Structure 1
Amino acid sequence: MIVRAVAGVIGAVVPDTGPVSSAPLDPLSRRIVGALQVDGRASWRRIAEVLGEPVRTVARRGAALLEDRTVQVVGLPNTSPTHIVRLRCRSGAVASVAAAVAARRDTIFVYAVGRAPEIVAEVMTPYDTLAGLVLDELPALDGVEEVRADPALLYFRTVAEWSPGLLSAEEGDALGAVASTEPFSPETAFELDEGEQRLLDALVADGRTPLQDIAELLGCSDATARRRVEQLLGRGALRIRAVVEPALLGLPVETLLWVRVHPARVEEVGKALVASPLVRYCAFVGGDGQLLVDVTTPDVDGLRSLLTDPAWAGGAERVGATPLLRAYKRGGVLVDPNR
Structure 2
Amino acid sequence: MHVGGTLTGLERRIVGALQVDGRASWPRIAAALGEPDGVVERHGTELLAGGSVRVTGAAAPSAGAIVALRCEPGKERIGALALANRRDTRNAHVLAGPYGCLAEIDCDPARLAAFTLDELPLLPALAGSGVWTVLRYVRTSAHWRPGLIGDAEHDALVDVEPPPEYAPFGEAKDVNRPDALLLAALAHDGRRDVDELAGVTGLSASAVRRRVERLRREGGLRLRVVVDPALLGFTVRAVVSVRCAPRDVPAVATALSREPSVRHAACVTGDRQIVAEVALPTVDALHDLLTSAAWLDRVTEAEASPVVGTLKRDGLFTLASEH
Deviations 1:90-117 (A, max 9, x none): 2232212212321222111111111265
One of 38, 63, 75 as aligned partner of 1:56: 38
Deviations 1:126-174 (A, max 9, x none): 3332222222223212212333221111222211101011111111111
* 1:232 has 2:232 as partner: no
Residues paired across the two proteins, number: 318
Uncovered stretches (5+) of structure 1, i.e. residues with no partner? 1-21
Mapped partners of 1:291, 1:44: distance in 2: 37
* 1:93 has 2:93 as partner: no
One of 328, 332, 337 as aligned partner of 2:311: 328
Kept in 2: contact 1:256–1:294 (CA 8 A): yes
Provide the residue aligned with 1:195 in structure 2.
178
One of 24, 42, 63 as aligned partner of 1:81: 63
In the superposition, the TM-score normalised over structure 2's length comes to: 0.92
The correspondence of residues 1-339 of structure 1 with structure 2, limited to 5 A, is 23-78=5-60, 80-115=62-97, 118-176=100-158, 178=161, 183-186=166-169, 189-339=172-322
Kept in 2: contact 1:113–1:323 (CA 8 A): yes
More helix by share: 2
Structure 1 position 202, deviation (Å):
1.2
Mapped partners of 1:68, 1:310: distance in 2: 37
Q: Percent identity?
A: 41
Provide the residue aligned with 1:13 in structure 2.
none
Structure 1 position 182, deviation (Å):
7.0
Q: Residues 179 and 305 from structure 1, CA distance in 2 versus in 1: closer, same or farther, beyond 3 angstroms?
A: farther
| Letter of the 2:275 counterpart | L
Structure 1 position 223, deviation (Å):
0.9
Kept in 1: contact 2:163–2:217 (CA 8 A): no
Structure 1 position 235, deviation (Å):
3.0
Worse-matched range after superposition: 221-230 or 121-130 = 121-130
Q: Residues 241 and 188 from structure 1, CA distance in 2 versus in 1: closer, same or farther, beyond 3 angstroms?
A: farther
Kept in 2: contact 1:40–1:242 (CA 8 A): yes
Kept in 2: contact 1:90–1:117 (CA 8 A): no
In the superposition, the TM-score normalised over structure 1's length comes to: 0.88
Q: Residues 182 and 120 from structure 1, CA distance in 2 versus in 1: closer, same or farther, beyond 3 angstroms?
A: closer
Q: Residues 126 and 156 from structure 1, CA distance in 2 versus in 1: closer, same or farther, beyond 3 angstroms?
A: closer
Kept in 1: contact 2:88–2:107 (CA 8 A): yes
Q: Partner of 1:139: helix, strand, or coil?
A: helix
Q: Residues 323 and 186 from structure 1, CA distance in 2 versus in 1: closer, same or farther, beyond 3 angstroms?
A: farther
| Letter of the 2:168 counterpart | S
Kept in 2: contact 1:23–1:70 (CA 8 A): no
Mapped partners of 1:133, 1:231: distance in 2: 35
Deviations 1:32-70 (A, max 9, x none): 000111111111111111111111111111011011111
